Amino acid sequence: MSVVQRNNVVIAGEGTRPMIFAHGYGCDQQMWRLVAPAFAGTHRLVLFDHVGSGRSDLAAYDRAKYSSLQAYADDMLEICDELDLERAVFVGHSVSAMIGALAAIKAPERFESLVLIGPSPCYVDQGDYVGGFTRRDIDELLEFQDSNYLGWAADLGPAFMGNPERPELATELTNSFCRTDPAIARQFAAVTFLSDNRADLPKVTTPSLILQCQQDVIAPPAVGEYMHRHLANSRLVLMAATGHCPHLSAPEETIAAMQSFLEA
């Protein structure tokens, strides 16, 4: 099976400059439907599903291989190789922000800029570092996921999304979690929430935009500030949007911030 088939790659847009969209945990490429079309006139849009998510080839999922975020970064670089993508704009949400950073470290020639939405290099508080969770928090979250996956999804969907006045957004995210194979979701959650990529940040040389939401329980403002301090040539934008998914809850603000960054 080709890389394009394995990762359910979809190409759109009228431009020649590549723009790669990488979805967050428990999601798929459909989560970009409110943002990606705004760039279709100027870019070649490349959307895909991580292996184990969306309409990717689930048979390609290997627990040993996907025991680190680097495996997902390598998949994305395979897509770049297959499609001959160079100097691309990378747009990554949540865990995919760090996946994109790892890809840019390994193959900087592939990326002209990085748009990192709600990124976090480490979710666990350690010393003076504030990640937003204690190790006990993460262990309990994973245990809950093991014992009652549907209950976990029903609780975490609204928590991730925020914006309680718009319950349809939380319902969409919850349903997306529920469509994911529980065994794959459990391992990806562990890989995501127990990763620590703080030491990788100084290795990123690609210009980066950090979009930080207010009142984000997954990546609080302190994390965005940490990312900005440790990413050379980065711009931090504190959005008016709340929650962890501004590409769904505040697409216009997300688009405007991206356009301002790209024009600059």
Active-site residue list: 94, 216, 244
Closest CA to 35 of 24, 87, 26: 24
Phi, psi (deg, nearest 5) at residue 93: -105, 135
Q: Give the amino acid at 121.
A: P
- Cβ neighbors of 74 (< 8 A, separation 6 or more) are 103, 106
* Helices H / strands E in the chain, number of each: 10, 7
Closest CA to 68 of 106, 29, 16: 106
CB neighbourhood size of 216 (10 A): 24
Q: Is 34 helix (H, G, I), strand (E, B) or coil?
A: coil
